[in-house]
Amino acid sequence: MGNLKLKGKDILKLGYPNNQSVNVALEVMKRNFATKNIHYVKSLLKEILIHPENFEKDLTFGQIAETLLSSKKTEKRMLNSQRAAFQVFGNNISDEAKNQLYTALKLPISTQGALMPDAHSGYGLPIGGVLAVENAVIPYGVGMDIGCRMSLSILDTPVSYLNGARDKYEKALAEHTKFGMYETHKSHIDHEIFDRDTFDLIPILRRLKGKAIKQMGSSGGGNHFVEFGEVEITEEDEQIGLPKGKYLGILSHSGSRGMGAEIAQYYSRVAVEQCPLPKEAQQFAWLDLSTHLGLEYWTAMNLAGDYASACHDDIHRRLVKAVGGRVKARIENHHNFAWKETHNGKEVIVHRKGATPANENELGMIPGSMTAKGFIVRGKGNPESLNSASHGAGRAHSRGECRSLFTEHDIKKELKLKNVTLMGGNTEEAPMAYKDIHEVMNAQSELVDILGTFQPRIVRMDR
């Protein structure tokens, strides 16, 4: 690869003002046109200088155009003295998690917030935190694992096969699922997502495309899992289209892998530079959606969300091919994302960090733990929760606490009691690490209706 020999003085000679626009132009051109002829690069820069308004929405040159059109200094943003309106659902929530939401509610862009009954403290917005803001997106409000989601496939296979042919299902999970940072599948199918020009329009995505292709169809570490289990439909719903009864199901929990993590890290760092805030609120630095960087992150976030969905499709495809049967219904939802929605008659950006979208009649999946039931739900569209619900049972103990509180023996005892086979996993994800899912569900009866359950039987996690 060539190295573009472009200097700041070359850009000044073109007529650029002696301010931040020179540094931005230098960085953008070196990042995108390292192999190009310097005369070609200068002609592009000249064109942007003459008509910056023509390049404002361009994903490659928008940042240069924006700096030329705006000479505003980066001023420190202050927090409001009053919190925006909010609602807390459930009682068993730590003060630390509440205080994290309270700080977010004082941002000058915040309009409303909510805390779900599975909430616990996180980095920036608490896990189980929901925050609506005006015309901005907070990278740490979305979280590190962009598009982390649940996906449930309900098969036409008799549920008795889980006991009768347990070895077959264990073998399928052992051979056809990959976990953590280093495990990847040997072969990949072409997926339309890799044909999208978004990968070529944003430099960080161009760099991450190879990693995304390699990690396709794999799952993360920590609390991510793929499992076979018993689905019970207790209420008929035309969207699911299945009669009441028991079915064999595949449930997966994972996100956008290394690609999402690197997008989150990069834009969180950029947001902090663009949007200085008081120390206690620094992690809530936002990107204005009217700016090039805001648009860039929004585009990258949506691609990462679609990639996470594609990974789940691939996981389920591989397993169905291995064990047979046909998919009769599919229920899935993101729970780390930001959406454009209308609340109180106004368009806002709703961040759900570890929260399930629960718009009226929207289906979702809320898992319990490796031994506890999860729930198939239908949203009620409750405005006080910003049409949201919990994303799981929520942690009762931190990962550090789990290491000192629980042993492998404790986990084995619990697994045997509940007739669950575990492949991988560790004490950090012990069933006892989580809140009681039934208490969590009781605390959100105003947010969702329960349509069915999923009882894990064979669980695969990272080791």
The response to whether 316 counts as a known ligand-binding position is: no
Amino acid letter, residue 427 = T
Look-up of token digits 């009882």:
455
| 371 φ, ψ (degrees, to nearest 5) | -120, -15
Task: Look up the domain containing 442 and give its range.
Answer: 149-253+307-328+361-461
Q: What's the number of domains the chain is made of? A: 2
* Bridge partner list, 342: 347
Q: Given 16, 38, 70, which residue is the final one in a domain?
A: 70
**Residue-wise burial string across 187-201, b where 16 or more C-beta atoms lie within 10 A, e elsewhere:** eeeebebeeeebbeb
Return the SS3 of 204: helix
The response to whether 29 counts as a known ligand-binding position is: no
Residue 56 lies in a domain: yes
Residue 100 lies in a domain: no
Q: Say yes or no: 46 and 160 in one domain.
A: no
Dist. CA 93–CA 118, nearest whole Å = 8
Dist. CA 174–CA 153, nearest whole Å = 19
Residue 111 lies in a domain: no
Beta strand 421-423 pairing with 448-461: parallel
Assess contact for 307 and 256: CB atoms under 8 A: yes
Assess contact for 296 and 59: CB atoms under 8 A: yes
Query: For 241-273, how does the pLDDT look when each residue is reduced to its tens digit (9 = 90+)?
Result: 999 999 999 999 999 999 999 999 999 999 998
Dist. CA 89–CA 67, nearest whole Å = 43
Residue 22 lies in a domain: yes
Closest CA to 394 of 86, 97, 87: 97
Q: Say yes or no: 418 and 318 in one domain.
A: yes
Closest CA to 89 of 118, 112, 110: 118
The response to whether 8 counts as a known ligand-binding position is: no
Q: Say yes or no: 51 and 179 in one domain.
A: no
Residue 17 has a pLDDT of 86
The response to whether 370 counts as a known ligand-binding position is: yes
- Token couple for 408: 């492998």
Angle at 301 between CA 239 and CA 143, to 5 degrees: 90
Residue 1 has a pLDDT of 44
Q: Given 51, 70, 89, which residue is the final one in a domain?
A: 70
Which residue of the set 391, 397, 409, 438 is catalytic? 391
The response to whether 351 counts as a known ligand-binding position is: no
Dist. CA 263–CA 307, nearest whole Å = 13
Dist. CA 339–CA 287, nearest whole Å = 14
Query: For 154-204, how does the pLDDT look when each residue is reduced to its tens digit (9 = 90+)?
Result: 999 999 999 999 999 999 999 999 999 999 999 988 899 999 999 999 989
Q: Given 21, 37, 70, which residue is the final one in a domain?
A: 70
The response to whether 99 counts as a known ligand-binding position is: no
Residue 77 lies in a domain: no
Residue 294 lies in a domain: no
Look-up of token digits 């590190």:
144
Is 351 considered catalytic here?
no
| Residue ranges of the chain with per-residue pLDDT less than 50 | 1, 72
The response to whether 179 counts as a known ligand-binding position is: no
Q: Say yes or no: 58 and 157 in one domain.
A: no
| Residue 93 DSSP code | -
The response to whether 97 counts as a known ligand-binding position is: no
The response to whether 360 counts as a known ligand-binding position is: no
Q: Say yes or no: 63 and 153 in one domain.
A: no
The response to whether 391 counts as a known ligand-binding position is: yes
Residue 90 lies in a domain: no
Helices (H), 124-251: 139-142, 161-164, 166-176, 198-201, 203-215
- Token couple for 28: 């953008």
Residue 351 lies in a domain: no
